[in-house]
Structure 1
Amino acid sequence: MKAEIHPNYPEIAVTCSCGNKFETRSTYGKALAIDVCNECHPFYTGKQKTLDTGGRVQKFADRFATFGVGKKA
């Protein structure tokens, strides 16, 4: 490997808006403030809600309810 071509990769402190703090490494080089982390993001906490915006799931179910049903003779 060539010397002196790789960026500096120091440890930095990351602070989330929920108050969670942790250490990681980054080429950014200074403390980082983030909006969401694994402690407060709904996907990771299990609090994520599946929203049926505009009835899309029901519309699909109604449209294809008879799909695969054979015709009566």
Structure 2
Amino acid sequence: ILQISGERNVEKEDKNDTWHRVERSSGKFMRSFRLPDNAKVDQVKASMENGVLTVTVPKEEIKKPDVKAIEISG
């Protein structure tokens, strides 16, 4: 299971000649993701850019069974 948690603090300010408004919001968050059995958990990478978290979880290739043509006589 991959668990991501953090805190969010946002401040928004609007103003003009007659009024001034500031809004603040904050809070904690947590999210869990079940990873597939073939996830390479030792190679997980994460990066944050412009407020966007990107998590990359590489997976091992699942070997497909060999296909063999069998000739049918008769």
Question: Which TM-score applies when normalising by structure 2?
Answer: 0.26
Higher strand share: 2
Of structures 1 and 2, the one scoring higher in RCO (CA 8 A, sep 6+) is: 2
Higher helix share: 1
Question: Which TM-score applies when normalising by structure 1?
Answer: 0.26
